[in-house]
């Protein structure tokens, strides 16, 4: 370890240990972090090296590639990745790089093909990544590629859980299910909403945010900000449900540390849910279908689990950059850091295959009116994150802090608007940053 890294590690450990010492010795002491964690480009590069390049990162859903020959190409931390479903039905992950001269072998973001052909010299590979055509083959030795040296290069680690596809550039990471830890149960709660597989509805929403990625990690599981940041939506709900005023101050759920930096806020939201929770904000015409869905859930899952699947909303963060929003609808949010104050964000809405047209329209409406680019929530959140980032950047010379202590006076019994799950994120961030990613 060079001197610069040693000095940085010592400073980071001293800083966070100070914060922890001053926040855990007393129940009423705050937990704070310096604003520099959102600003420092050296720290950002260290995050890329010690967190993003060493952990499982979700890039796609297997349902986006339902048929043999389907593929999806995207960037991951600046590296081009290709996910392809072979003729054997198996999804594999490769670097989207020709082993000959480096051109991408898939030039579109998604599609279906029997072979991937490089436009530069015409070499081709199948869905297993095997070289199947060599232009001008007579110019190469007879045993060329005998060891697969010019097959497509596989990503070091690739695995999936319940249709969520993860890659990692670290071959020595723990098994995916061990890494997901307590988050697995919440993924199951989503995938168990139907006896049919989930599918992506309406493609991918893509947008950018001029903010540090960790601020969106916090925001995505922060229920506390809802009534203040999104008052228009609260008014809208009240107008949709005359006489039924949402009580957002009473504890309706809890937050939890799920291990490995993952955290969740689980609660009873004031909105109706297509899965099986009818409320006056939803159409009377759809009520029989939602009631029938509840009966199906109880028959398949049992009354207790069906109640949780149908009625409980949750915001789940899978460390470091994946969010599952099981709220008005089911949405998956992925954000990729580009630089200290900028990220690219992707979102998918999921729905069970085979549901009625009425339910599908309701699910899309429910999701887009709140989480869409012009919805009640997303524009508000983006504006808040960008203004917070701008304020920190304008105040670099001042000693500013990020305060995340809500609920520390009832640790272990925190309700849905507390911040214990955010503290779990930051403790894991600190562990990886100060222990060299181990």
| Domains of the chain, earliest start first | 64-172 (2.102.10.10), 182-434 (3.90.380.10)
What are the C-alpha distances in Å from 303 to residues 228, 298, 336?
35, 5, 39
Are 336 and 78 a contacting pair, CB within 8 Å? no
Residues 6+ apart with CB under 8 A from 248: 226, 227, 234, 270
Closest CA to 129 of 72, 83, 171, 62: 83
For residue 297, the surrounding DSSP H or E stretch is helix 287-301
* Residue 369: predicted pLDDT: 86
Q: What is the pLDDT of residue 270?
A: 82
- DSSP, collapsed to helix, strand or coil, labels residue 82 as strand
Backbone angles phi, psi at 267, to 5 degrees: -165, 170
Q: Which two tokens stand for residue 294?
A: 């509840």
b/e for 398-407, b at 16 or more Cβ within 10 A? eeeebebbbb
DSSP string for residues in 196-257? S-EEEEEEEEEEEESS-HHHHHHHHT--TTHHHH-HHHHHHHHHHSTT-----SS--EEEEE
- The greatest distance separating any two alpha carbons of the chain, rounded to the nearest whole angstrom, comes to 81
* pLDDT given at position 248: 63
Structure tokens of 154? 């596989």
Collapsing DSSP to helix, strand or coil, 334 comes out as strand
Q: How is residue 209 written in tokens?
A: 């945010």
pTM, full prediction: 0.90
Q: Residue 57: what pLDDT?
A: 95
Residues of the chain with pLDDT under 70: 1-30, 243-251, 397, 437-438
- Cα 430 to Cα 19, 57, 248: the distances in Å are 11, 19, 32
Residues 340 and 39 sit within 8 Å (Cβ to Cβ)? yes
pLDDT at 243: 66
Q: Note whether 350 and 201 are within 8 A (CB).
A: yes
């Amino acid at each position: 370890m060079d001197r610069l890294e040693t000095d940085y590690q010592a400073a980071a450990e001293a800083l966070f240990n100070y914060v922890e010492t001053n926040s855990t010795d007393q129940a009423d002491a705050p937990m704070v972090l310096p604003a520099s964690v959102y600003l420092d480009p050296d720290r950002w590069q260290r995050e890329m090296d010690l967190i993003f390049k060493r952990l499982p990162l979700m890039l796609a859903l297997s349902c986006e590639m339902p048929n043999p020959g389907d593929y999806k190409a995207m960037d991951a931390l600046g590296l081009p990745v290709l996910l392809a479903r072979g003729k054997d039905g198996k999804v594999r992950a490769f670097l989207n790089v020709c082993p000959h001269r480096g051109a991408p072998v898939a030039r579109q973001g998604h599609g279906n093909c029997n072979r991937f052909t490089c436009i530069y010299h015409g070499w081709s590979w199948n869905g297993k990544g095997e070289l199947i055509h060599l232009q001008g083959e007579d110019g190469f030795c007879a045993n060329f590629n005998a060891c697969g040296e010019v097959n497509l290069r596989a990503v070091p680690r690739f695995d999936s859980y319940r249709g969520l596809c993860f890659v990692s550039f670290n071959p020595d990471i723990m098994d995916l299910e061990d890494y997901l830890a307590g988050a697995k149960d919440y993924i199951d709660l989503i995938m168990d909403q139907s006896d049919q597989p989930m599918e992506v509805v309406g493609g991918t929403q893509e947008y950018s945010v001029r903010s540090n990625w960790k601020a969106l990690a916090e925001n995505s599981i922060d229920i506390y900000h809802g009534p203040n940041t999104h008052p228009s939506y609260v008014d809208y709900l009240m107008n949709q449900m005359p006489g039924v005023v949402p009580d957002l101050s009473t504890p309706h759920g809890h937050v939890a540390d799920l291990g490995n930096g993952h955290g969740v806020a689980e609660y009873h939201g004031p909105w109706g849910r297509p899965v099986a929770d009818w409320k006056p904000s939803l159409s009377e015409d759809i009520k029989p279908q939602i009631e029938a869905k509840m009966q199906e859930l109880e028959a398949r899952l049992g009354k207790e689990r069906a109640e949780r699947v149908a009625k409980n909303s949750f915001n789940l963060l899978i460390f470091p950059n994946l969010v599952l929003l099981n709220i008005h609808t089911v949405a998956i949010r992925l954000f990729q850091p580009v630089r200290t104050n900028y990220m690219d964000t992707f979102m998918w809405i999921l729905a069970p295959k085979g549901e009625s047209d009425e339910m599908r329209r309701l699910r899309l409406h429910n999701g887009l009116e709140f989480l869409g680019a012009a919805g009640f929530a997303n524009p508000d959140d983006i504006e808040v994150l960008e203004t917070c980032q701008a304020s920190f950047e304008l105040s670099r010379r001042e000693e500013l802090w990020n305060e995340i202590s809500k609920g520390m006076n009832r640790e272990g019994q925190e309700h849905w608007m507390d911040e214990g799950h955010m503290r779990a994120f930051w403790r894991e961030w600190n562990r990886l940053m100060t222990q060299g990613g181990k």
